[in-house]
Amino acid sequence: MKEEIIIDAKNKALGRLGTEIAYYLQGKHRPDYDPSKDKKVFVLVKNLDQAKFTGKKFDQKVFIKHTGYIGHLKEIPLKLLWSKNKLEVLRKVVSRMLPKNKLRKKRLLRIKLINGDNN
């Protein structure tokens, strides 16, 4: 049985929104919570384009990734990634809040946008 939870991101800081989503994806809101089991919880986020950034993060934050090859350090500014794909930014934020195990990739795919926010 799948469960859907709708979260309104309007005027919420992205980090606070991320912790709330991570909480639900892990199933911690359920009385039968078990960290080793994966509950089919889908989180539907609306008004993601109206989420806010605190401080100077929007201009200064940079996502860093290393490919494994010498000199292949990739840096993508938050401002650029936000304009291209808002859902990808949200998934990166939530990914770092979830436990680093086999369930993380499956849980991240259960974050969906609703109300026409397809970027």
* CATH at residue 40: 3.90.1180.10
Determine the Cα angle at 18 with ends 91 and 61, to 5°. 70
Confirm whether 60 is domain-assigned.
Answer: no
Domain that holds residue 101: 3-53+86-113
Give me the number of domains the chain comprises: 1
Which band of pLDDT confidence, cut at 50, 70 and 90, is reported for residue 115?
Answer: confident
pTM of the complete model: 0.90
Q: Across the chain, where does the E strand assignment appear?
A: 3-8, 41-46, 62-66, 73-77, 111-113
Confirm whether 14 is domain-assigned.
Answer: yes
Task: Dump pLDDT digits (tens) for 7-59.
Answer: 999 999 999 999 999 999 999 999 999 998 898 999 999 999 999 999 999 99
Confirm whether 59 is domain-assigned.
Answer: no
